[in-house]
Structure 1
């Protein structure tokens, strides 16, 4: 058997205690790391759930927006169809030209014509009697 140094036998329990102490420190550190990782995982799961919910909400909003856009497109199409049935500027100009040619302000009413006829008859009768 090899000879042992007397100081080394005294140091063995001390070294053993130090090793045990280091192992405990490492175990605590390992346990703390595991707890942190577990907490991080839980937070990630919560974040994932929140993101999924937000995505659902956005998807619903996008669907509603698409419906609104389709309604607006239909309304615009109807509006354009209505506008196509309006009279064009050129057609109005033609009508204006004819109205100006006819000059309806110079037209006489039926009553005015009857009065004129009566006057003429009277004049004719007066001439015949004279």
Structure 2
């Protein structure tokens, strides 16, 4: 009968030692990948928190700008209403024409009339 040659224990020990080294390298690489994945996850969470804060700030700023724009629009409408209640250019020109026709600087007041009448009466009595 043929007997199976038994493997050399030194060869088996060397193979087991080599497999053990490879297994440790794989475990080390897995640990490194887990550490790297944890780092990426933490960075992603931090970035997400920063973005959430920025979004909240932008939302708040947008609300404030909307309120300010509404206030500005209301003030502009009030200003426009006031401008509509003022005299137009044509109205001012009509008033200027009346002033030119009447020329208030050439008009006499009561004292001037009394003085002229007194002078005329005095001239007649002389």
Is TM (by shorter chain) over 0.5?
Answer: yes
| SS class of match (1:108) | coil
Shift of the alpha carbon at 1:16?
1.1
Shift of the alpha carbon at 1:17?
0.6
TM-score by length of 1: 0.88
Shift of the alpha carbon at 1:120?
1.5
Task: State the alpha-carbon separation in 1 of the partners of residues 112 and 3 from structure 2.
Answer: 154
TM-score by length of 2: 0.90
Aligned to 1:59: 59
Structure 1 runs not aligned, ≥5 long? none
Task: State the alpha-carbon separation in 1 of the partners of residues 3 and 105 from structure 2.
Answer: 143
Aligned-pair Cα RMSD in Å: 1.7
Aligned to 1:68: 68
Task: State the alpha-carbon separation in 2 of the partners of residues 88 and 44 from structure 1.
Answer: 65
Shift of the alpha carbon at 1:28?
0.6
Structure 2 runs not aligned, ≥5 long? none
